[in-house]
Structure 1
Amino acid sequence: MRKFFSLLSALLMPALGCAEDQTLTIPAGEGPGKGKHIVLISGDEEYRSEEACPMLAKILSVHHGFETTVLFAINPETGVINPQIQSNIPGLESLKTADLVILDTRFRKLPDDQLKHFADYVNTGKPLIGLRTATHAFRCGTDRFGIDWNNFGLNFLGEKWVAHHGKHKVEGARGVAVQAQQAHPILNSVEDVFAPSDVYTVKNLDESKATVLMRAAVTETMEPDSKILQDDPRNDPMQAAIWLHEYTAPSGTKGISLLSTMGASVDLESEDLRRVIVNAAFFLLDLKVPEKAEVSYVDPFEPTFFSFIPKDYWEARALKPSDFVLGKSPTVGLPKSKN
């Protein structure tokens, strides 16, 4: 009998190890977030969420005491991180114990056994934070588990994908706090938010029901000291960029989300944009928001400029979640020119 269990353990261990290798867990440090679990879901082809989410997870865990889990788009055949694979994000069962989800995906087409975990999460009415392409997080059909996934952003975050409002890869975005919300806890010690990614068009958000905290102004260039374009009709009025939104789940339960249309990995070089996200985590979890949240990098962070990277590059790069553990900080980098 002992030999049988030894053999069974030997057979199971590789499978368990493989499952564990497909997600990243950052253990909770000391801090007010102790006992709360945040799951960050990456998976977009352009804005390098696979870089942004581990960096944010480390800040939330090490500086503030949250337990964090980071999920990635994984090629099931090779086990490597590959955002071009839209149909596989292992580890979504971790949402069973999540208190907050940070969603940073784009047009994911997930199978039922994975998608159901996300449907179960929102049916509890627990909070969401959406970053950049979360406005078009899924492309999973219009009625699965009672949710219109193709309009998930519109229904759960307040807006869907519309268009680029600024010139893509030419102009940047500067956050401008809404005067009436300057004292809102999510904006504690937030003074200068700048994002090289351009301003998104926002036209479906019902501002009479949402709380718009910050708008985004189109800037002359993508440099951090770039000036807001004056007398430009695109800045009159400025587009909403960061807001709180109440959603209603299929269960009838209501929940609160925060959406930031700024959120590319290079955008998060902005200290105050990182602070908005950390502040929002505290606020949405009914914790006292710090007067000036610690948002310094735990490990070096050198984000990759946003672009679409060919599928074969990801397989050659062969990144795995374990490459992002504490003490490690790989960059995706850009493929070398074939010329």
Structure 2
Amino acid sequence: MNRNTFLQTLAGALGLSTLEAGASASAAKPYIVFVTGDHEYSSELTLPIIAAELEKKYGMRTKVLTAYPDYNAEKDIPGLEALADADVAVFYLRWRLLPKEQLAHIDKYLKSGKPVIGFRTTTHAFNYPEGDDRRPWNAFGEFAFGSPPGWGGAAKHTHYGHKSTTDVSVISEAAKNPILTGVAPAFHAASWLYRVRPDYPPKDATLLLMGKAVNPDKEAIENPVAWTWKNQWGGRAFLTTLGHPEDFQVESFQRLVINAIHWAAGKPVPKNWKGSMNINVPYGHPAKS
């Protein structure tokens, strides 16, 4: 059945015009808004590929927002008003200094109780200086996702060196979690392991994946690298501290991401995997965290 025939059938069943039926069909597709802006991990290149896959193979609508004029620009991500219509917001941010009018769109979205997904440096999405009344946003990772409140500090949020990598394994208690459908019991990730323990994620989070540092530059402990949580506004939250461009080449990581977006949108995870994506994005921005 082609689209026009489908819309005519839908219109007849619902007593709508074909135009109204088209709008209804679009509304039934989850709308995923990606918000990117990091100096280091090329999220402005990896996440559009994920977005295109969701549209082409999984029946979703997407929009990708990027920092202007490029990923190093910390003070402007145009288009954040799109969050008002989003069903799921996906963040990959690092040390942004957005103006209040842009923060207001994120604030309104969070307080709506809608679901959020975060990658890696979103644990330290903002970096407002002391004395700035926007400084509470530095803890965005904590109140949105249950991660440490920013980089370093008392939470000891750090990593184990840029020459290290991470062995990832499924936490046995979570093996049947739908987000882990098709994810290998163990796989290797290029991301150097982030330390979030002992205080994060919160005790009421559901841990999904554990990471062990390979070739760490200091004494290392195992740390969770993916979890779900319900934040204070009742929003479903999924966060992974993985997200190096090479991680996106790993099929298990691709499945994790596609599954998590379906889960956040309240949709069943795909029963049939549509195949791996060709995500060949270079890492090369100056590495800091």
What's the secondary structure of 2:147's corresponding residue? Answer: coil
What's the secondary structure of 1:101's corresponding residue? Answer: strand
Change (3 A) 1:239 1:172: same
What's the secondary structure of 1:148's corresponding residue? Answer: helix
- The one-letter code sitting in structure 2 at the alignment partner of 1:119 is D
Asked whether 1:200 is paired with 2:194, we answer: yes
Structure 2: unaligned runs, 5 residues or longer? 1-24
Q: Is the 8 A contact 2:146 2:202 kept in 1?
A: no
1:242 corresponds in structure 2 to 226
- Once residues 112 and 164 of structure 2 are traced to their aligned partners in structure 1, the CA distance between those partners, rounded to angstroms, is 39
Paired residues in the alignment total 252
Alignment of 1:45-194 (within 5 A): 45-75=39-69, 82-140=70-128, 144=134, 148-160=136-148, 161-162=151-152, 163-168=157-162, 170-191=163-184, 192-194=186-188
2:238 corresponds in structure 1 to 258
Asked whether 1:210 is paired with 2:196, we answer: no
Q: CA deviation at 1:292?
A: 4.5
Q: CA deviation at 1:281?
A: 1.0
What's the secondary structure of 2:245's corresponding residue? Answer: coil
Quick check: 105-114 or 135-144, which moved more?
135-144
Q: Is the 8 A contact 1:32 1:65 kept in 2?
A: no
264, 273, 285: which one pairs with 2:265?
A: 285
1:17 corresponds in structure 2 to none
Bigger relative contact order, structure 1 or 2 (CA pairs below 8 A, ≥6 apart): 1
Q: Is the 8 A contact 2:39 2:286 kept in 1?
A: yes
Q: CA deviation at 1:143?
A: 5.3
- Once residues 126 and 159 of structure 2 are traced to their aligned partners in structure 1, the CA distance between those partners, rounded to angstroms, is 22
Change (3 A) 1:305 1:33: farther
- Once residues 307 and 273 of structure 1 are traced to their aligned partners in structure 2, the CA distance between those partners, rounded to angstroms, is 21
Q: Is the 8 A contact 2:225 2:240 kept in 1?
A: yes
What's the secondary structure of 1:55's corresponding residue? Answer: helix
- The one-letter code sitting in structure 2 at the alignment partner of 1:209 is D
Q: CA deviation at 1:205?
A: 1.1
Q: CA deviation at 1:295?
A: 4.8
- Once residues 122 and 88 of structure 2 are traced to their aligned partners in structure 1, the CA distance between those partners, rounded to angstroms, is 15
1:326 corresponds in structure 2 to none
Change (3 A) 1:265 1:93: same
Q: CA deviation at 1:104?
A: 0.3
- Once residues 87 and 108 of structure 2 are traced to their aligned partners in structure 1, the CA distance between those partners, rounded to angstroms, is 13
Quick check: 287-296 or 95-104, which moved more?
287-296
Asked whether 1:269 is paired with 2:286, we answer: no
**TM-score calculated relative to the size of structure 2:** 0.80
- Once residues 32 and 63 of structure 1 are traced to their aligned partners in structure 2, the CA distance between those partners, rounded to angstroms, is 15
- Once residues 243 and 49 of structure 1 are traced to their aligned partners in structure 2, the CA distance between those partners, rounded to angstroms, is 20
**TM-score calculated relative to the size of structure 1:** 0.69
Alignment of 1:39-50 (within 5 A): 39-50=33-44
- Once residues 46 and 246 of structure 1 are traced to their aligned partners in structure 2, the CA distance between those partners, rounded to angstroms, is 28
- The one-letter code sitting in structure 1 at the alignment partner of 2:119 is L
Quick check: 114-123 or 286-295, which moved more?
286-295
- Once residues 116 and 266 of structure 1 are traced to their aligned partners in structure 2, the CA distance between those partners, rounded to angstroms, is 33
Q: CA deviation at 1:38?
A: 0.2
Change (3 A) 1:33 1:308: farther
- Once residues 151 and 74 of structure 1 are traced to their aligned partners in structure 2, the CA distance between those partners, rounded to angstroms, is 23
What's the secondary structure of 1:266's corresponding residue? Answer: helix
Deviations 1:188-232 (A, max 9, x none): 0100443212000012314421100001111249xxxxxxxxxx9
Q: CA deviation at 1:102?
A: 0.8
- The one-letter code sitting in structure 1 at the alignment partner of 2:281 is P
- The one-letter code sitting in structure 1 at the alignment partner of 2:64 is V
Q: CA deviation at 1:165?
A: 3.2
Structure 1: unaligned runs, 5 residues or longer? 1-30, 76-81, 222-231, 310-339
Change (3 A) 1:292 1:189: farther
